[in-house]
């Protein structure tokens, strides 16, 4: 950032510039904490997924008065009290809307098979047909935009799984009528029923990456929403922005970096070479966090307990060595650069049998709930986002 002579603010990257208010999540980059609607993510990670979605989108207003008035309960992960009362309604809506139509499946078949899953996802979102259905009075689903947003979120797992089946020459598995969000996704993706443990792991990872304040993808969606474009356009813009390797695409890039390095003893030389040539280490560093990303703090032990043998163990050992080499090198440079959410996430996904080119689309599958929450919040008090350029031409 730079201050011009005439007092105008000049910033090419908006670093440190506050561009709006939000009640959805809070990123504290100094202490290294993240909370959704005031609840620390460490306390949300083992809650039912749809309960967290309800909290994120609509707050704790539906929870019993005791829960709302007792901050301790909201923070206590072991509490049997619900964080909000929307879980059942959201689950039923998702099950009802997640099946792809024949036309949507045909579109997926027609797209070139070498197209990256994130490009497929970004392109497919505006084409999805989400019928509006009247809801009982007082329902949180009464609003058409809410239905569109949640309808898109419901179909994203089906799109990802169907593309995975198609490009591998497998038959598409239709969505189940009663399975939970991630049990159904893993079944559609792999073609076999997942274990409870696999579902629990995916639930936790997806909760961790559902929302993160004004990140680049969410901000792109807000810019789009500010023109009064529909929610489909806004989510599509966000997904396109998430794809880049400086943002969500770092999950694929970090695990592929570990594969390329090959063994832990080569990690230090790899890091030194990257720093020498000013190449970024994928999964390291964050615009907001000046300490370890709180999501990485949860994902690392998860990866260590899951990757105990085979290729997963080898990849994880490389990642651990890269992290150690980075810490030594960055400390020497006096830089506060630590592992972010992407660094160990790939190892966890790898343990679930998910190929690296699908990592970022799974990220989008979770983050879409944050995008919807921001679209709804922003639309309540919307104003066109339109910065200025400094003209330097002739
Ligand atoms: N590897 C090596 N050097 C790094 C890294 C890294 N991962 N991250 C920052 N640096 C260095 C830069 O080279 C620069 O050094 P210099 O001042 O000597 O030129 C300095 O730290 C500042 O770097 P910026 O990129 O300006 O810092 P910023 O805060 O904007 O960066 C970013 C944040 C873009 C995430 C960066 O750390 C990065 O590129 N990381 C790798 C990609 C990545 O993991 N992205 C995922 C982020 S999490 C998410 O979006 C979900």
**What DSSP line would sit under 122-150, residue for residue?**
HHHGGG---------TT-TT-SHHHHHHH
Q: Give the ligand 1 atom nearest the CA of 254.
A: 44
Instruction: List the single range of 9-13, 60-64, 312-316 with lowest mean pLDDT.
Output: 60-64
Q: How far apart are CA 361 and CA 346, in angstroms?
A: 12
Q: Give the ligand 1 atom nearest the CA of 340.
A: 48
How many angstroms separate the alpha carbon of residue 295 from the centre of ligand 1? 17
Ligand 1 neighbour 37 (Cβ under 6 A): no
How many angstroms separate the alpha carbon of residue 341 from the centre of ligand 1? 13
**Which of 1.10.580.10, 3.40.50.300, 2.40.10.10, 1.10.150.570 would CATH assign to domain 95-247+370-379?**
1.10.580.10
Q: Indicate the burial class of 278 (C-beta count within 10 angstroms; 0-12, 13-18, 19 or more).
A: exposed
User: CA Rg, the chain, in Å?
Assistant: 21
pLDDT value, residue 328: 96
Structure tokens at 277: 């040539």
Ligand 1 neighbour 247 (Cβ under 6 A): yes
How would DSSP label each residue in 358-391? GHHHHHHHHHHHHHHHHHHHHHTT----------
pLDDT value, residue 222: 97
Q: Tens of pLDDT along 169-212?
A: 999 999 888 899 999 999 999 999 999 999 999 999 999 999 99
pLDDT value, residue 8: 85
pLDDT value, residue 63: 58
Ligand 1 neighbour 83 (Cβ under 6 A): no
Helix axes 196-208, 181-190, angle to 10 degrees: 110
pLDDT value, residue 4: 60
Q: Tens of pLDDT along 47-96?
A: 999 999 999 999 987 655 555 555 444 545 456 678 888 999 999 999 99
pLDDT value, residue 60: 84
Q: Stretch 115-132: mean pLDDT, rounded?
A: 96
Q: Tens of pLDDT along 267-313?
A: 999 999 999 999 999 999 999 999 999 999 999 999 999 998 889 99
How many angstroms separate the alpha carbon of residue 282 from the centre of ligand 1? 9
pLDDT value, residue 277: 97
Strands 2-3 and 25-28: unpaired
How would DSSP label each residue in 282-312? TTB--SS-SS--HHHHHHHHHHHHH--SHHH
Ligand 1 neighbour 55 (Cβ under 6 A): no
Q: Give the ligand 1 atom nearest the CA of 247.
A: 50
Nearest CA to ligand 1 atom 32: 286
pLDDT value, residue 81: 76
What are the structural domain ranges in the chain? 21-89, 95-247+370-379, 250-351
Ligand 1 neighbour 280 (Cβ under 6 A): yes
Ligand 1 neighbour 370 (Cβ under 6 A): no
How many angstroms separate the alpha carbon of residue 285 from the centre of ligand 1? 5
Q: Give the ligand 1 atom nearest the CA of 279.
A: 2
Q: How far apart are CA 109 and CA 163, in angstroms?
A: 8
pLDDT value, residue 3: 57
Q: State yes or no: pLDDT of 350 exceeds 50.
A: yes
pLDDT band at 371 (very low <50, low <70, confident <90, very high): very high
Give which of 248, 230, 240 is closest to 342, Cα–Cα.
Answer: 248
Q: Tens of pLDDT along 95-117?
A: 999 999 999 999 999 999 999 99
How many angstroms separate the alpha carbon of residue 197 from the centre of ligand 1? 34
Note whether 158 and 188 are within 8 A (CB).
Answer: yes
Q: Stretch 27-55: mean pLDDT, rounded?
A: 96
**Which of 2.60.40.1220, 3.40.50.740, 2.30.110.10, 1.10.230.10 would CATH assign to domain 250-351?**
1.10.230.10
- Cβ neighbors of 325 (< 8 A, separation 6 or more) are 267, 268, 270, 271, 272
Identical topology for domains 95-247+370-379 and 250-351:
no
Q: Tens of pLDDT along 333-345?
A: 999 899 999 999 9
Q: What separation in angstroms does the CA of 135 have from each of 132, 140, 146, 159, 186? A: 9, 9, 12, 26, 30
3-state secondary structure of 346: helix
How many CB atoms sit inside 10 A of residue 171's CB? 8
Buried b (16+ CB within 10 A) or exposed e, 151-166: bbbbbbbbbbbbbbbb
pLDDT value, residue 64: 56
How many angstroms separate the alpha carbon of residue 140 from the centre of ligand 1? 40
Q: Give the ligand 1 atom nearest the CA of 284.
A: 7
Ligand 1 neighbour 337 (Cβ under 6 A): yes
- Cβ neighbors of 22 (< 8 A, separation 6 or more) are 213, 214, 374, 377
């Amino acid at each position: 950032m730079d201050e011009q002579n005439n007092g105008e603010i000049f910033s090419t990257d908006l670093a440190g510039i506050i561009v709006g208010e939000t009640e959805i999540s809070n990123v504290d980059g100094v202490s290294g904490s993240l909370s959704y609607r005031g609840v620390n993510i460490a306390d949300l990670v083992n809650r039912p997924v749809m309960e967290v979605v309800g909290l994120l989108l609509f707050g704790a207003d539906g929870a019993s008065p005791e829960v709302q008035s007792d901050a301790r309960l909201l923070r206590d992960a072991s509490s049997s009290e619900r964080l909000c009362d929307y879980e059942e309604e959201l689950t039923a809506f998702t099950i009802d809307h997640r099946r792809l139509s024949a036309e949507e499946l045909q579109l997926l078949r027609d797209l070139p098979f070498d197209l990256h899953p994130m490009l497929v996802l970004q392109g497919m979102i505006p084409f999805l047909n989400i019928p509006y259905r009247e809801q009982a009075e007082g329902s949180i689903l009464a609003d058409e935009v809410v239905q569109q947003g949640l309808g898109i979120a419901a179909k994203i797992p089906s799109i990802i799984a169907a593309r995975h089946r198609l490009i591998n020459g497998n038959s598409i598995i239709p969505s189940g009528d009663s399975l939970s969000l991630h049990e159904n996704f893993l079944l559609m993706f792999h073609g076999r029923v997942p274990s409870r443990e696999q579902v629990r792991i995916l639930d936790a990872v997806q909760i961790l990456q559902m929302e993160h304040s004004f990140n680049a993808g969410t901000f792109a969606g807000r810019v789009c929403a500010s023109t009064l474009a529909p929610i489909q356009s806004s989510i599509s813009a966000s997904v396109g922005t998430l794809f880049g390797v400086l943002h969500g695409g770092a999950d694929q890039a970090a695990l592929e970096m570990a594969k390329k390095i090959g063994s832990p003893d080569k990690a230090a030389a790899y890091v030194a070479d990257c720093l020498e040539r000013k190449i970024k280490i994928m999964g390291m560093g964050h615009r907001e966090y000046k300490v370890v990303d709180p999501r990485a703090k949860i994902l690392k032990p998860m990866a260590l307990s899951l990757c105990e043998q085979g290729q997963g163990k080898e990849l994880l050992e490389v990642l651990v060595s890269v992290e150690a080499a980075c810490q030594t090198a960055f400390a020497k440079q006096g830089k506060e650069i630590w592992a972010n959410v992407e660094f160990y996430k790939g190892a966890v996904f790898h343990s679930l049998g998910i190929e690296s080119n699908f990592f970022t689309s799974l990220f989008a599958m979770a983050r879409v709930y944050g995008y919807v929450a921001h679209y709804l919040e922003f639309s309540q008090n919307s104003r066109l986002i339109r910065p200025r350029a400094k003209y330097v031409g002739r």
